[in-house]
Structure 1
Amino acid sequence: MFRFTIRQIEIFLKVCEAEGFRRASEALGISEAAISHQICLLEEQLGGALFRRRRGAAIQLLPEGEEFREAAILFVRQGLALGQRLAPAAPLPTSITIHTGPHLLEDALRPALPDFLRRHPDINLNLVLPKARRWLKQAILTDKVQGALLNVKAADELPHSDLLAQTEMALFACPTIAARIRANPALPIDLLLPNSEHPDAAAQIKYLRHAGVHFRIAGHYPFHDVGIRMAAEGAGALVVLSSIVTSLAPAGLLERVQNLGTWHTRLYLSPHLRPDHAQALREFFTTVAVGLTASSED
């Protein structure tokens, strides 16, 4: 009765592939003596030599070795096929798309995303910018999106959402311009605004007019970090969430000139999400939102 092991078959096939004991030992990470010993045990079990060994010459498979090699390859293939049939197929991760704002996406969510995906391999989380606030609101009401995380002024801007944190919208400027605004409060403020294609551009202009801010446009910026740099260089004042300034600007670079109201970080998750997925997402987004708020209050 044959009693050779799978390890001996593995070593035998590696010797055949490497055409020698030395290269097989290097490939398998074991000594050449161990290779030779296992081949000798295998040959004893089979009752005959598998290789022709000659001093100073490469080993060669004997006809018996060729026959056993074909049987060993078939054995390995059948074993792999059986393992694939018996092993449960790994489930594909569930793809979930969450709409969020550029500040939350770039400054908070994207840096924390790799750790979330590592801890939740069953979730493929996609973070995207919404087409427009009005579109997103309608999509939530008609149950066409899986989730959204946004900074909003009023709860009805993100229907069926929960409050995670809040932060202040404020007017910021470099010390020189801040002093000028305080000294001449009746004059229009030279203001930097997002580019028209920025997702928050239209909403910010509407909010400024509603808040009664008297301004004239001094320039535009594509991203918050660019806007903060322009404001720090004296190009104009900036209306932005305090959490954004805290996360992007060194302390003392910009001064808070005037608070313009409290904004809420709100989360909507579709009721059709799996409960465990919804819980994992809620914990992740809450941690991110609270972290931003805490840093802006320090």
Structure 2
Amino acid sequence: MPSLPFTLRQLEVFSSLATTRSFGRSAELLGISQASVSNQIKVLEEQLGVELFDRKPGRRPTLRAEGLAFLDDLRKFQIAGEVLAAHRRKNCEEVERKVRFKVLVGQGMFDAYVRRKLDQFFGAHPDIELEFEAQWPFGQLIRAVESGQFDFALINQRADHPVLNQFRELAMVRGGVYGHRKYAEGHDLPMTAEALNKLPFILPKATSKQEREVLRNYERHGIIPRHIIGHTQYYDVMAAMLDRGLGVASLSDAILPPAMRKDVIMLKSLEDWRMLYFRKDLGTDPNCNLVEDFLISSVLDDPDYPAIRRTRKTVPA
């Protein structure tokens, strides 16, 4: 096996900086100094032989084209690592005492809010094991929950779709076409569909059901993208492309990292998005309440979550 030109710690630091776009914030989240964050990135770039970030005095670091490509491949590397880790042999007694739950969650919500709080939850509740499946927030999520394979679900759904009885609405966030503020120059907001049609668009993975659903919804609003400059299945990559001014895309407000919300703005509002919660009937197991409280609070109690309405209910005792 060839030696890798990076360490897992360097990948962790890179992933954090790509999300926060702040050396100070990444240092705080990782529990290290800003100098250490800067040094880890510098060494990573030297080992790879490419510059991943544009770094200019007085401005936030932004991903270069090489950095966007590296971030995309890092997501695949992380998924492969999780698959390999699943081969770990567990002690029989540990298997006996652990309680396992399967959780479906929207990809953007998982990456931005849930994932970075998991270490605290697992540290406080070592006997609870959560298996997450993160997907894009489209119709197949509802069907996946109805299949009965998930114990919990925390997903987003466009507000123009009906809420099924087994789901509970927790919050509402804005949705629309987002892009760098440079695209709004010379235009009144919201931009017209005719003006948007001339802009470069970024879509979900090519030829996917998600892409077709996005295009159908655009058409309902008179938006017909004439210039599609790229596809990606990862929200963080899409957000980074918006931040670099490479194109525009349909998103919910909650997907954008706080550091990007100054430069990436809503160009035209579309449907708002509901955050929906599902919990299977698992009896009176108190562990269910712990999981429920964690899932809901990890999003709604996060100061960066831009809810325009919250309908959270108290977790049952």
TM-score range, shorter chain: 0.5 to 0.7
* Residues 158, 275 of structure 1: alpha-carbon distance in 2 compared, 3 angstrom cutoff: farther
Counterpart contact for 2:105–2:155, Cα < 8 Å: yes
Shift in Å at residue 182 of structure 1?
4.0
**Aligned residue for 1:196?**
206
Distance 1:172 1:132, change over 3 A: closer
Task: Indicate whether 1:176 and 2:182 are aligned.
Answer: yes
Rounded to whole Å, the distance in 2 between the matches of 1:203 and 1:159 is: 24
**Amino acid in structure 1 at the alignment position of 2:244:** E
Stretches of 4+ aligned residues off by more than 6 angstroms = none
Q: Distance in 2 between matches of 1:234 and 1:179?
A: 13
Structure 1 contact 219–235 (Cα < 8 Å) conserved: no
Out of 274, 277, 281, which is 2:291 matched to? 281
Once the two structures are superposed, the pairs formed by residues 139-288 of structure 1 within 5 Å of their partners are 139-154=144-159, 156=162, 160-179=166-185, 182=188, 185=192, 186-187=194-195, 188=197, 189-196=199-206, 200-216=210-226, 217-247=228-258, 249-272=259-282, 274-288=284-298
Match of 1:114 among 119, 124, 148: 119
TM superposition shift of 1:289 = 2.5
- Deviation, 1:113, is 1.0
Give the helix-richer structure, 1 or 2: 1
Q: Structure 1 residues 270 and 206, CA, compared in 2 at 3 Å: closer, same or farther? A: farther
- Report SS of the residue matched to 1:95: strand
The answer as to whether partners of 2:167 and 2:276 remain within 8 angstroms in 1 is: yes
Q: Which structure is richer in relative contact order (CA contacts within 8 A, separation 6 or more)?
A: 2
Percent identical residues: 17
Note closer, same or farther for the CA distance 1:281–1:197 as it changes in structure 2 (3 Å cut). farther
Q: Distance in 1 between matches of 2:157 and 2:177?
A: 17
Question: Aligned-pair distance for 1:191?
Answer: 1.5
Q: CA RMSD in A?
A: 3.1
C-alpha displacement of 1:272: 2.4
Counterpart AA for 1:193: L
Q: Using the TM superposition, give the Cα deviation of residue 292 of structure 1 relative to its aligned residue in structure 2, in angstroms.
A: 5.1
Per-residue CA shift, 1:150-203, capped at 9, x if unaligned? 111146466511112221112221122122564973231432112238785444
Instruction: Give me the whole-angstrom Cα distance separating, in 2, the residues matched to 1:140 and 1:224.
Output: 22
Matches within 5 A, 1:20-99: 92-99=97-104
TM-score (norm 1): 0.59
Q: TM-score, normalised by structure 2?
A: 0.56
How far residue 103 of structure 1 moved from its aligned partner, in angstroms, is 0.5
Change (3 A) 1:125 1:291: same
| C-alpha separation in 1, matches of 2:283 and 2:148 | 12
Confirm or deny: 8 A CA contact 2:106 2:136 kept in the other structure.
no
| Aligned residue among 107, 127, 133 for 2:132 | 127
Partner Cα distance (1:132, 1:172) in 2: 17
Question: For the structure 1 residues 130 and 174, does the alpha-carbon distance in structure 2 shift closer, same or farther, using more than 3 Å as the test?
Answer: closer
Q: Secondary structure at the match of 2:275?
A: strand
Per the alignment, do residues 209 and 158 of structure 1 end up closer, same or farther by CA in structure 2, a change over 3 Å counting? farther
2:234, 2:181 → 1: CA distance? 22
The answer (yes or no) to whether the contact 2:282–2:288 under 8 Å persists in 1 is no
Deviations 1:126-155 (A, max 9, x none): 111359955543343343322221111146
The structure-2 alpha-carbon separation of the partners of 1:213 and 1:274, relative to structure 1 and needing over 3 Å to count, comes to farther
How many Å separate the matches in 1 of 2:207 and 2:151? Answer: 24
Q: Provide structure 2 residue ranges, at least 5 long, that are not aligned to the other structure.
A: 1-92, 309-317
Alignment coverage as a number of residue pairs = 209
The gaps in structure 1 that reach 5 residues or longer are 1-88
For 2:240 and 2:145, the matched residues in 1 are separated by: 35
Where 1:215 maps in the other structure, the secondary structure is: coil
Separation in 2, partners of 1:195, 1:157: 26
In structure 2, distance between residues paired with 1:130 and 1:232: 23
- Map of 1:42 onto structure 2: none
Does the aligned pair in 2 maintain the 1:140–1:159 contact within 8 Å? no
Structure 1 SS opposite 2:202? strand
Alpha-carbon distance in structure 1 between the residues aligned to 2:268 and 2:136: 30
